Every structure is written in C-alpha cells, then in structure tokens.
Structure 1
Amino acid sequence: MMRSLYSGVSGLSVHQTKMDVIGNNIANVNTIGFKASSVTFSDIFYQTVQSATGPNTNTGAAGRNAMQIGLGSSVAGIKAAITKTGGAQRTDNPFDLMISGDSFFVVNNAGTNYFTKAGSFDVDANGTLCTPTGATVMGWQVDPKDSTKVIQDTVSALQIMKPENLYSAPEGTTKAYVSGNIDNKDTQIIASGRKANITFYDATGNEYTATLNLKQSTATNQYNITLDNIVDKNGKSIFMKGSGTTADPYTATAITSVAIGGVSYAATVNATTGLTLAATGTPSVLEFHSGSGDFVSVGGAGNTGINLTVTATGNSPFTPIAVDFSKMTMYGGSGKSTIEGNTGASDGSGKGRKAGNMTGIGVDNYGKIFGKYDNGDSRLLGQIAVASFANPAGLEAVGDNMFSETQNSGSFDGIGHDVSSDGGKFTPGVVEMSNVDLAAQFTEMITTQRGFQANSRIITTSDSLLEELINLKR
C-alpha cells in the first residue's frame, strides 16, 4: 500500500483536531475568564531508505545524504493563552472582580483547590462567597485579636455573610464636645441660661440625650455648667418610668445618679409628682479671656473638658463621657448665643454607635471584603487570596472555568498571596471576558480548512494511483 495514504490520513486527523480547538474557542467567545487555545503540529516517524554516508578519501567517493520518507504529521501540543488578558466587562456587581496580573482566584470544589480567572461570584444560603457553579472562593480570615487585619494562613472558605457578620456590635460614647459662641450681652444666658443637647449611646446601643445648661456666673466671662435632665430616644427621663396615674404610678429605674463636672445629681421619684434631681457640689465654671473672648478653661487648672458620668445599680451599661468645651468662644456683637452639643470628639473619635444591621458589602482593590452597616460602621470580613504559578500555561483545564495544577505548572502552597504583592490588583464591578480573537480564529479556520482539503486530495490522488496499478491487469 502507498505510504501517502497514511500521511494523508494523519493530516486529516491533525487538521480535524485543530478545527475542534478553533470550534471550542469560538463557542466560548463570550465565556468569562476563558483562555483561547492554539494547536501546533509536528512531523512524525521517518522511514530511512538509505542512510547518510561520509566522503571516502581512499576511493574518492563523495558523501551522500540520507534518504528519508516522512509518514505524516501529528499534534505537537495544544497550548492555552493563559497569560493573555481578556477584555473588561463592567457589571457593577460588587461581587464581580477582575484580576490585573498573572494571578488566579483560588476556589474549592469537593475539597480540592482549583484556580480560575472568572471572577463572577455570588453568595450562597450559608453566606459563603462562591462561583455560579458552586465552588467556594478561598481567602484569609480576620484576625480574632485585631479586627482590622487578616491572618495570611492556609486559605479557607470566605463565609462573609455568616450570622455574626450580619450585625455590628454597639459601642458606648466616650467623647463629646460643645461648640459655638457665647455673647455676654445675651439676656437669656444671663437670666436662665442656654441649652446644649448631647446625644450619646450606652454600651448596649441605646440612645440618650443629655441637656446641659450654661448660665452666666457673677463674672461676665464665666458660665456655670449644670444638667437639666437625660432622656431616652422617646423623650422620657432615664431616671423614672410610668405615667403618674393611679394605675401606672411613677417609679424609679436602675439609674440612680449622674455627675457632670463638680455637681452630682441624685434622683428621687414620687409616684405622682415624678422626678426630682437633687444637686450637690459646685458647678464647673466655663471661663473665657475677658479681653479677647478666647477659651481659657473649664473647671479650672487649664482643663479643656469635664466628665459626664451616669451611675446605675448592677452592671451599668454607661461609660464616662469626656465633654470638651475648648471649641467655645465668647465674642460679642449679635446679642445672641449659639451653642451646640456634638457627639464624639472634634476629630470624630469616641462617638459610639447603636447596634447596626448590614446594608451592603464592598471589595477593595486588594481583595479585602468590608461589611457596611446602618450605624455607620464598616468592618473587615476577610480577604480574597490569589495564587501564581511558575508556568501558568502548564495548568490543566477541568471545565467550569477552572484549572488544576499539574507537575509542569508548579504547585500551590495552600496559602497564596496578596494580589498586590506582584503588582496586580482587583477591579470590583468588572469581569474579565474571553481572550478569544475572532479575527485570528476565522483566519485559522480558513487555513485549517484548506489544509484539510489538501490532505483529502492526497488520499484521493493515491487512490487513483492504486486504481491505475490495479488496471494494469485487465
């Protein structure tokens, strides 16, 4: 039989394989994270009709090259363009991420780690970040000793919406400040005083408002600071409960006293007349420079603030609040004073907060996942880790946009690294599309078709030669 028949068959086979690869590339032109593959051919075994000989100086014969007849072609390799980045598609989904760089997301399916460029993620019923096909996204957990950091240890599933992450713990207020301007010609502050309301939270997240009164002392540049009352968010005094009727008389709460600066207020409650706050001590004095009107001190000795302390029986949820008055001034001119109480220090610290419910989740450029809560809190929930390989083209595609490591790709150490460690970053709200170049694929399709046709002609022509051979005998 003629060798060309089998060469033609091998040519058909390799071109069919190449067409299969091209077809798969085009089929996945809109598959996120897909990496196009290309096929390379090689010639195969040769039949040596005559071996090469060297020149013979004795006989004067020249050397001759070997005479070899090739036996067709084979597929040398199918290589995926792993490092070629696909186009970016904006989705505005906070769980969609695109990696800039050669790193891969680490996902786990049935206990085995796989790797993917497809960053379209969801959250399942258990609050775990996962792929659309059900593989869990792996990363690092928050350090239990420092909630602002993660522990870069063996990767594990990111259960970002587990029950304890759905709320933010409350925090008691520890700082406040009073700001504004006092006019020493203000008739109200001379007669009865001006009010400043300070809203604060206890350690369980309950909200209260303390009403302070600033009234001019015997000196026109000095003002006494006293407390009128503290009420809850419903406007009821924290020292008593009830409505004062026979069926619902006033009764005392567990909150027994409060101190502001040098004055302590003890609460007594009458069943019908209600609350009486008995003050003992000397009010703290807010003092200004009589010439410039600038703040001097509160409570003497150059102090800038005084403490507001609520006392309750049992385990008190209240924390002492340092109230700063150094932002106050005493400038004249308008005949009116403008005083405002503010929660937290002027730099925003010590505000405290109520208990918060999760309102959203965001991922930054480094893969850190933050929960956002309706009390203004933002909390680190974990960080997405990535993996890199010495030879990413050596990874083996296993379907579902995932790759597995092989002996020729390099191994994953189980920990991974921060995406920024090799200069990469995440782009939230964007996914990486397929890197298939349709123009190149159609061109390859044309050359593959022509190659297939040419090899088919080898077979038909060889068949014609055989037919002529058979026809020699009629």
Structure 2
Amino acid sequence: MLRSMYAGISGMKGMQTKLDTIGNNIANVNTSGYKKGRVTFQDMMSQNLSAAEGPLAERGGINPSQVGLGSQLGTIDNIHTQGNRQTTNRPLDLSLEGDGMFVLGEGDLTTTNSTATSLTGMDAELSYTRAGNFYLDNDGYIVNADGKYVIGENATYDTDANGDLTVQPGTQYNPIQIDPSAQSFSIQTDGTVKFIDQNGNSQTAGQIQIAKFSNPGGLQKTGANNYTNTDNAGLVDNLIVPGEEGAASIVSGSLEMSNVDLAEEFTEMITAQRGFQANTRIITTSDEILQELVNLKR
C-alpha cells in the first residue's frame, strides 16, 4: 500500500481533533471563566531512504533522503489569557484581574462555637476556578453553584464581655462565612469580606485568597468550570492575598467572561476543514493510483 494513503489518514484524524477542540471553544463562548483550547501537531517519524554522508576529497557531502509518514497530535493546550470583564453589580459576582484562581473545597466541617474553622479531608477535595459567580448558603457560607466552599482565611466569631459580636483572625484553607444576621456585606479588592452586624458595626468575616500556578497550562479540566492540580502545574504552596506577590486582584460586581475569540475560531475552523478536505484528496488520489496498478493486468 502507498505511504501517502496512511499519511492522509493521520492528517484526517488530526483535523478531526482540531475541529473537536474548536467546537468546544465555540460552545463555551459565553461560559464564565472558560479558557480556550488549542491543538498543535507534530510530524511522525520519517522513513530513511538513504543516510547522510560526509564530504570526501573528490566530492562534497550528501544530505539524507527521507519520506515522512504523516502527522500526529502534539498537544492540546489551555490558553490562560485574561477574559473580558462583564459588569453585573452583584456583590457575590467576583472576577480576577491578573494571575491566580479561586480555591474551592469540599469536606466535613469542623466547628468551634458553631463556626467552621476547617474542612476535614479537604486536601483531596481542592479544586480551582476562574468563574466567580458565587452564592450564600443557608448558614452564610460563600459557595459556588455546586455548593463547594470558597476557601481563604476565615475569621472566628466570639462575643465580648458586653455580649457584642467580635471577630478573631483564623487560619488559611477554611471556608468564608458571613454572619447570617448581617444587614449587608461587601468584598474588597484584596478579598476581605466585610459585613454590617445587627448593631450597625462593621465586621470582617474573613479574606478570600487565591492560588497561583507557575504553569497554569498544566492544570487539568474536570468540568463545571473547575480545574485540579497536577504534578506539572507548579502550585505555590501557600494561598496568596489578592493583589500581592504578583497575584490577581478581585473585582466585585463583575464576572470574567470566556477568552474565546469567535473570529479566530471561525478562521481556524475553515483551516481545519480545508486541511481535512486536502487529506481526503490524498487518499482519493492514492486510491486512483492503486486502481491503475490493478488495471495493469487485464
């Protein structure tokens, strides 16, 4: 069989994967915090027809003669560029301006004075996201659409000698809880969550902190706008205060939109379609050549 036929098949498979990625990008053009994918290709190992030879006294050197055997999938990259910001004026809609991700956690709550101070088993249940559409549950915890806790440095509630509510600093990797009886609340650019208690006093519920990765492209998508850490993502050990150490700042009342550019995706779609058609022509032409060989014997 002709090598060109198998080269054409490999090219068709590659173009199919490229079209799959483009289709997923277009489907998520309005998904908050979505990061587009990109496909790259590599050539396959080439078959050597003749090796290279060095120059001799009576002649010069000779280059190798090789025939390529097609293409193969190289990488499918996640492009973590900044998406556009959409203003919503909703205080629990948060967007990140810069590098970093919100941290989400699942697990059993360990409580002190009816206030959560940690999540047991949380290390195996951490996930990361750029989608900042958060909500309050019945107990005042800030959660995402799937009920996962937004993680940061939580404050511990207590009462002083006069019976007034006071807030003490907590520790990292804890859910953020706003007093359910609060009159109002706000979230600052550094992630500090403040609320007005029943007495009209300003209190601090905690501070949302973010995770930073040296290689965000190494994160693994798990669906529902979430990512999980991998051995190649380069997670910084400690959570970072928004706006410090080169980390992103938080903008309340807005959402980060998808970074998909429709004009670019449609152009890539045309390129992939024409690439697929060209590879089918290779197979068709190779088939015609084989047919001519078969017809030699009549």
TM-score normalized by structure 2?
0.87
1:72 to 65, 70, 79: 70
Alpha carbons 1:150, 1:383 under 8 Å: kept: no
Q: Distance in 1 between matches of 2:189 and 2:154?
A: 17
Partner of 2:117: none
Partner of 1:270: none
2:131 alignment partner AA: A
Secondary structure of 2:29 counterpart:
coil
Q: Report whether the alignment pairs 1:101 with 2:119.
A: no
TM alignment of 1:53-452, pairs within 5 A: 53-57=53-57, 60-82=58-80, 84-109=81-106, 111=122, 112-142=125-155, 150-151=169-170, 153-160=171-178, 165-167=179-181, 358-413=182-237, 415-423=238-246, 424-452=248-276
Instruction: From the two aligned structures, give the one with the greater strand fraction.
Output: 1
1:42 alignment partner AA: Q
1:120 alignment partner AA: N
2:239 alignment partner AA: G
- What's the offset of the Cα at 1:143? 5.7
Note the alpha carbon deviations across 1:176-232, whole angstroms, 9 max, x for none: xxxxxxxxxxxxxxxxxxxxxxxxxxxxxxxxxxxxxxxxxxxxxxxxxxxxxxxxx
Secondary structure of 1:134 counterpart:
coil
Quote the RMSD (CA, aligned, Å).
1.8
- What's the offset of the Cα at 1:422? 3.0
- What's the offset of the Cα at 1:412? 4.5
% of aligned pairs identical?
Answer: 43
Note the alpha carbon deviations across 1:341-381, whole angstroms, 9 max, x for none: xxxxxxxxxxxxxxxxx222211111111122353212111
Secondary structure of 2:259 counterpart:
coil
Q: Distance in 2 between matches of 1:75 and 1:97?
A: 36
Alpha carbons 2:153, 2:209 under 8 Å: kept: yes
Give structure 1 regions of 4+ aligned residues with deviation exceeding 4 angstroms.
143-149
Note the alpha carbon deviations across 1:19-68, whole angstroms, 9 max, x for none: 100000000000000001111111111110111111222xx243211110
Note the alpha carbon deviations across 1:399-444, whole angstroms, 9 max, x for none: 111111111111352x401002135321111010000000100110
Secondary structure of 1:39 counterpart:
strand
C-alpha distance 149-457 of structure 1, shift in aligned 2 (>3 A): farther
Partner of 1:471: 295
- What's the offset of the Cα at 1:150? 3.5
TM alignment of 1:452-471, pairs within 5 A: 452-471=276-295
Q: Distance in 2 between matches of 1:166 and 1:451?
A: 58
- What's the offset of the Cα at 1:472? 0.6
Secondary structure of 1:421 counterpart:
coil
Aligned length: 275
Note the alpha carbon deviations across 1:145-172, whole angstroms, 9 max, x for none: 9956644x43112232xxxx234xxxxx
Secondary structure of 1:420 counterpart:
coil
Alpha carbons 1:405, 1:412 under 8 Å: kept: no
Partner of 1:297: none
Q: Distance in 2 between matches of 1:123 and 1:463?
A: 64
Secondary structure of 2:15 counterpart:
helix
Instruction: From the two aligned structures, give the one with the greater helix fraction.
Output: 2
Secondary structure of 2:183 counterpart:
strand
Secondary structure of 1:390 counterpart:
coil
TM-score normalized by structure 1?
0.56
2:145 alignment partner AA: P
Structure 2 residues not aligned, in runs of 5+: 108-121, 161-165
- What's the offset of the Cα at 1:76? 1.1
Q: Which moved more, 1:108-117 or 1:137-146?
A: 137-146
Q: Distance in 2 between matches of 1:445 and 1:134?
A: 37
Alpha carbons 2:194, 2:203 under 8 Å: kept: yes
Note the alpha carbon deviations across 1:68-92, whole angstroms, 9 max, x for none: 010000111111111x111111112
Partner of 1:207: none
Note the alpha carbon deviations across 1:251-288, whole angstroms, 9 max, x for none: xxxxxxxxxxxxxxxxxxxxxxxxxxxxxxxxxxxxxx
Structure 1 residues not aligned, in runs of 5+: 168-357
Alpha carbons 2:151, 2:174 under 8 Å: kept: yes
